[in-house]
Amino acid sequence: MGAGSCIFCQIVEGKIPSAKLYEDDLVISFLDINPINPGHSLVVPKKHAATIFDIDDDVLAKCAVVAARVARAIRSATGCEGLNVLQNNFRSAGQLIDHFHIHLIPRYEGDGFLT
Ligand code: 5GP
């Protein structure tokens, strides 16, 4: 899938609505449409890059800083007991959207997801 038909590029451009949590010149964060737990969010670079193998260092660094900032907000909004930071690359690793993104997943004792 090229950047032209990429769902996350369309969210970045405002062509598809999203529940936005954060935005700056390089990065956007919004709620996942199909959350594992309430508050499950994504951190997405504005410039299209398919995987961690394609992303520029400065953008990756900014994504990490934003992920920590949004994680703190999710924790205080949800009162979650734990939080997974997850990043999938290629189908064999569970990547469905070919635009780099970091998952922030609030977790609770015994919720039974992932680990
Ligand atoms: P992946 O499996 O690629 O790591 O995760 C893609 C994530 O994007 C999934 O958790 C999925 O629910 C989410 N997603 C897919 N399409 C949309 C959309 O149009 N809007 C939002 N907010 N999330 C989406």
Identity at 58, one-letter amino acid code: D
- Residue 48 a catalytic site member: no
Digit-coded pLDDT (tens) for 29-82? 999 999 999 999 999 999 999 999 999 999 999 999 999 999 999 999 999 999
CA 32 / ligand 1 centre spacing (Å): 6
- Is 44 exposed, middle or buried (CB count within 10 Å of its CB: 0-12, 13-18, 19+)? buried
Residue 61 lies in a domain: yes
Residues in contact with ligand 1 (CB, 6 Å cut-off): 7, 16, 18, 30-34, 88, 94-97
Q: Whole domain around residue 31: which residue ranges?
A: 3-107
Residue 42: strand pairing partners: 30, 103
- Number of domains the chain is built from: 1
ipTM of the complex: 0.99
The CATH number linked to 43 is 3.30.428.10
